[in-house]
Amino acid sequence: MSALTVTDLTVDYRQRGGSRFRAVDALSFALEPGQTLALVGESGSGKSTVVRTLSRFVKPSAGEILLRGVDAADGVERGLPRGRRAKRKAYHKTMQLVFQDPFASLNPMHTVAHHLRRPLLLHGGHRRGPKLEAAVLDLLRSVNLTPAEDVARKHPHELSGGQRQRVAIARALATDPKVLLADEPVSMLDVSIRLEILNLLDRLKQDRDLALLYVTHDLATARHFSSQIMVMYRGEVVERGPSDQVILHPAHPYTRMLAAAAPDPTVSRAALAEARAQRAALRDTRAAEHRESVLDQGCRFRSRCPFAMPVCATRPPDLPAVKGSVPGAGAGGAGHAARCWLLDESAAAAPAADSAD
């Protein structure tokens, strides 16, 4: 059984003046225990809204969220305690999250110990006393914060960014969750400690058989720390598949551009200059402003897409329609899919240009 199954999740935000803005559009995915799924996207892609919706800060306008086979919304319930409050509590126990900004996710007024005691009291069946304190210290040790006794007494401002993020992770683990949502857990941290935090998450995932959703804008760590990748653009998934497949053989022009934009220190100067010239040519004569504009119908990426064709003005086929049909995907391409007219045999012959390299 998947730890979390999301089907056709749609989230709309009400804007001033009554109009609606679709932040997430019919998103479906599943999280498996012991596996990491990376959700990659830029700001405005809707990836944070996904996390907020799964954490129940935002109400979805459509779609189904099944947490260990149980509907998160009111409806079918099996094995969960009765009553809305109890159900909500069970949900929160099972799913926890780690925030992006460790400077904002800990309450400046409270000690580290307070942050860890609360989930233990709420969900761990603990009572105040020495046992609780021991559990707090255990949690701190499990995220390599030692000496735990000292750290527990401190206030957030006395800790470094990395240490704070470890506390935030410990807090999320305190309820002994099955699903962990990590919303850009390292993007606010110093470069040199990012990998340590990601390694910690990876180890905890394995030790505790967690289903991990790793939300990020960084393709490189997404590839190295997850087995599957979903790429989101303006509210919809444009490409998904095994991480090596998606990164090494990107099918959607957006993923290709993302991959090409990532700095690569090993490439020579000449190659860099060439890539730059290529990008400039692809950007052609369109003004920067034009490239950033939002289009209502059709492919949402087409204003920036170097391969945009007339057919792009109509909506590209949904993901399942091209499942596993990425041209040239070869072996290991199973489950690799992209939402683009270029990959649709019935559409105009796709230019084979691969701007990624």
Partner 1 sequence: MIPSTGTETRDDSSGLGTDLVLRASNVSVEYAGSRPTRAVREVSLELRRGEVLGIVGESGCGKSTFAYALTRMLRPPARMTAGVVEYYGRDGEVIDLAALSGDRLREFRWNKISMVFQSAMNALNPVTGIGSQMDDIFRTHRPGMDKAARRARAGQLLEMVGIDPRRLRSFPHELSGGMRQRVVIAMALALEPEIVVMDEPTTALDVLVQREILDEVERLRAELGFSVVFITHDLALLLEISDRLAVMYAGQVVEYAPAEQVATEPLHPYTRGLLRSFPDLRGQRREMHGIPGNPPDLREALVGCPFAPRCESVFEPCREITPPLRAPAGGWPVACHLHDPAHDDYSSEGGR
Partner 2 sequence: MPATVTTQLVEAPAEAAVRGSGVLRTALRSRRLIAGLCIVGFFVLLGVVGPLFFGNPNLVGTVQHAGPSAAHWFGTTDIGQDVFAQTVVGARATLEIGAAAGLIATVVSVVIGIGGGYAGGWVDEALALLSNVALVIPTLPLVIVVAAFVKNTGLLPTVFVIALTSWAASARVLRGQTLSIRNRDYVLASKALGEPVWRIVLVEIMPNELPIIVSQYLFAMIFAILAQAGLAFLGLQSPDLLTWGNTLYFAQNAQALSSGDWWWFAPPGLCIALLGAGLALINFGLDELLNPRLRVYREPRARRAARADGTETGQ
**Is position 57 an interface residue for partner 2 (rule: CB under 8 A)?**
yes
C-beta closer to partner 1: residue 289 or 345:
289
Helix (H, G, I), strand (E, B) or coil at 25: strand
With contact defined as beta carbons under 8 Å apart, do 256 and 250 qualify? yes
Report if residue 68 touches partner 2, rule: CB under 8 A: no
CA atoms within 13 A on the CB side of 71: 8
Strand order in the sheet with 62-67: 20-31, 4-14, 62-67, 70-71
Contact status: 100 vs partner 2 (CB under 8 A): yes
- Minimum Å gap between C-beta 93 and partner 2 is 7
Is 109 a binding residue for partner 2 by CB under 8 A? The answer is yes
Going residue by residue from 110 to 129, which x/- string records binding to partner 2, judged by CB under 8 A?
x-------xx--xx------
The DSSP 8-state label assigned to residue 335 in this structure reads: T
Show the 3-state SS of 161-181: HHHHHHHHHHHHHCCCCCEEE
Residue 216 contact, options partner 1, partner 2, none, Cβ 5-8 Å cut-off depending on partner type? none
Which region, judged by CB under 8 A, interacts with partner 2, from 73-81, 149-157, 190-198, 271-279?
149-157
* Cα–Cα dist 66/98, whole Å: 20
Are 55 and 215 a contacting pair, CB within 8 Å?
no
Compare residues 5 and 216 and give the one whose CB is closer to partner 1: 216
Q: Contact between 157 and partner 2 (CB under 8 A)?
A: yes
Residue number, 123 or 223, with CB nearest to partner 2: 123
Residue 119 interaction partner, one of partner 2, partner 1, none, beta carbon < 5-8 Å per kind: partner 2
Q: Please tell me whether residue 29 adopts helix, strand or coil conformation.
A: strand
The residues near 110 (Cβ < 8 Å, ≥ 6 apart) are 155, 156
User: Least Å distance between CB 90 and partner 1?
Assistant: 35
> What contacts 285, CB < 8 A, 6 or more positions away?
none
* DSSP type of residue 317: P
**For partner 2, which stretch binds (CB under 8 A), given 64-72, 85-93, 196-204, 238-246?**
85-93
325 Ramachandran zone, left/alpha/beta (phi>0; psi -120 to 50): alpha
- Positions that interact with partner 1 (CB under 8 A): 42-43, 160, 162, 190-196, 198-199, 217, 219-221, 223-225, 247-248, 257-269, 272, 276, 279-280, 283, 287-289, 292, 304
- The SS3 assignment for 265 reads coil
Measuring CA to CA, how many Å separate 277 from each of 62, 77, 273, 281, 357? 44, 58, 6, 6, 13
155 binding partner 2? (CB under 8 A): yes
Q: Which of the choices partner 2, partner 1, none does residue 349 contact, using the CB cut-off of 5 to 8 A by kind?
A: none
Q: Which of partner 1, partner 2, none is residue 295 near (CB under 5 to 8 Å by kind)? A: none
How, if at all, do strands 236-242 and 228-233 pair?
antiparallel
Residues that bind partner 2 (rule: CB under 8 A) add up to a total of 33
Contact call for residue 104 and partner 2 (CB under 8 A): yes
Q: Which does 22 bind (CB under 5 to 8 A by kind): partner 1, partner 2, none?
A: none
**Encoded tokens for 248:** 């090494």
Minimum distance, C-beta of residue 123 to partner 2, in the bound complex (Å)? 7
248 binds, among partner 2, partner 1, none (CB under 5 to 8 A by kind): partner 1
For residue 343, which of 4, 319, 333 has the smallest C-alpha distance? 319
Residues that bind partner 2 (CB under 8 A): 55-57, 88-89, 91-93, 95-97, 99-101, 103-110, 118-119, 122-123, 155-158, 168, 171, 175
